Each structure stands twice: as structure tokens, then as C-alpha cells.
Amino acid sequence: MWEGLSSPDNMQQTIKQKVSISGTGVHTGSNSTLTLHPAPADTGIVFTTHVIASPDLSGRSNLPAKVASAIEFEHGVTLGNKDTRIMTCEHLLSALYGLGIDNCICELKGEEVPALDGSALPFVQLINKVGITTQEKPKLYTEIKEPILISHQGRFIMGIPDKDFRISMFIDYNHKWLKPQYTSFKITPKTYKSEIASARTYTFIEWLKKLKDKNLIKGGTLENAIIITPEGPVNTLRYKDEFVRHKILDLIGDLCLLGTSIKGHIFAIKPGHRLNYEFVKKLIDLCA
């Protein structure tokens, strides 16, 4: 891990002022309110279920958005400790990471981050309402200096050195309608906002009963998820390859658990939240 050069593009960032949004959790079906607060340099991304009283978080029960806080990975990422549990945080984390925000306090009144439209776009729009400000400390970077590979049952994530942050993604569900998809992007705030943030989460119609049997998707609707049938999606797509773009969105959210910005090219084949988490852990071990 190293500090970036002291240029405007390599300085830490936070939001300019607090801003809130409310909605329903896709799995719990319960309403919650999320308030994003500016945070001092070197704070990182921190969740709290308490009202913020001081900018240094003193005397509060807080949950850093780091790999050590991740406790569940089935159909979303849950962060938790003995006091706090935050479900389905990956789209919010993706928006923060994709926009280059290093420091933010995420106050949640509820147990699950609102699903909103099933993408990261509402969070991007929320942040755009108040703006982003540069801070007086250099960004912290994790740099991939040698090839890193992790795999499990035909799923792979590999990282190789690159002066930029890039993600290349391939998915294949062996599905009658959804054919294999591949895409690749250099991840910058501009490309994140225009090409990735609006890609929505999705599921297959034949998976719905299994998800309901697990007591999940209580808040799932066609307004916050794409439903894919053997004949095609029920919803109107935003991109022909919206599905692979959403997998990039999810991976960016999981990479936020690094706690630093990243330099490297990541190739992923059919990844999921658990494999993303294992890759982040390996990256931390090798680059520490």
C-alpha cells in the first residue's frame, strides 16, 4: 500500500454535505433511511446505525467497510460486528468506490441498504446533489505488482499489473436466452457514471422460489430487479449487456472492502460475492 502523488487527482475525497435517501430493502422488505455524511481524511467508508454526534466518530459503535467486517455473501454482502449488521451494501459501496470517494460516514436507520432501482445510479445521483470535495491528504493505493489468481469451481478472478484501474468481465449461465457476455472498462468516475452505475441487479425466474424459500427477496419487484425468463427479460433493458455490466458494478463494490484505491487490471470469469471477497483478502495479503 502506498500514497498517491500530491496532485488534485490523487488526493482523498469526501462529499460536501450530508444527504439522505429512503427506500425498501430487497431482501428484508423493510424500509430504511440512509444518510451519507462528510468524513475527515483517513476515516475511510464507515457504517453506523447511530446518529452522528461528532466527525471523529468518538463514542460510537461503527462498522468500517473493510474485508474484516464482511460476514455473509449469499445474494449480497452483509457487514457486521457484535453491535451492528448492515445487509446488501454492495451497490452503495460500488457508487462510493466508483466515484473515487475515500471517506464517508454511512448512517443507516434500518437493517438493509435501500434497493432503490436495483443499480448504483440512485446513489450516484444522491452524491451528485451535494458534490464531492478534495481533501488535504494523498489517496492510499493498493497496487497489483505481480499476477494474482483465485479460482473455485470454474469461476476465476485474476489481477495483473496496470498503471490504471481496469476490469474485464465474462459471464455465462448456460441459459436458453442469456448468452455469454463479455466487456471491459477502464474504471474512472466518468466511465463509472456513464457505463456501469445504471446496470441493475437481475435474477432468473426459475430462481425465485428458491430465494423465497430462503426468506429472501421480500422487497423484490420489477422496479428493483430484472427478471429473466427462458424467452428473455420481463423488463426493458438499459444496455444489451446490462448483466455483465452489473457484475462489474458488484465487483467494484466488493473491491471497496480493500479500504484503498486500486491500480491493476482485474479479469473475472463468472465471479460472485464470495469469490470477490476471497480475491480481496488475497490481494491484501500479497500487497500488504
pLDDT tens sequence across 232-286: 999 999 999 999 999 999 999 999 999 999 999 999 999 999 999 999 999 999 8
The CA dihedral of 283, 99, 162, 285, to the nearest 10 degrees, is -10
Q: Do the two domains 2-140 and 141-287 of this chain adopt the same fold?
A: no
Catalytic machinery residues? 273
Q: Specify which residues 262 forms β-bridges with.
A: 142
Burial environment of residue 24 by CB neighbours within 10 A (0 to 12, 13 to 18, 19 or more): buried
Instruction: Give whole-number Cα distances, 84 to 15, 46, 80, 155, in Å.
Output: 24, 12, 5, 31
- Checking if the pLDDT of 53 tops 60, the result is no
Does CATH number 3.90.15.10 belong to domain 141-287? Answer: no
Residue 58: predicted pLDDT = 57
Mean pLDDT of 47-53: 68
Does the pTM surpass 0.85? The reply is: yes
For the chain, the domains span 2-140, 141-287
Domain 2-140 has CATH 3.30.1330.10: no
Over the stretch 99-109, which tens digit does the pLDDT of each residue have? 999 999 999 99
Mean per-residue pLDDT, 61-84: 90
> What pLDDT is stored for residue 216 in this prediction?
87
Considering the chain, what percentage of its residues have pLDDT values greater than 90? 84
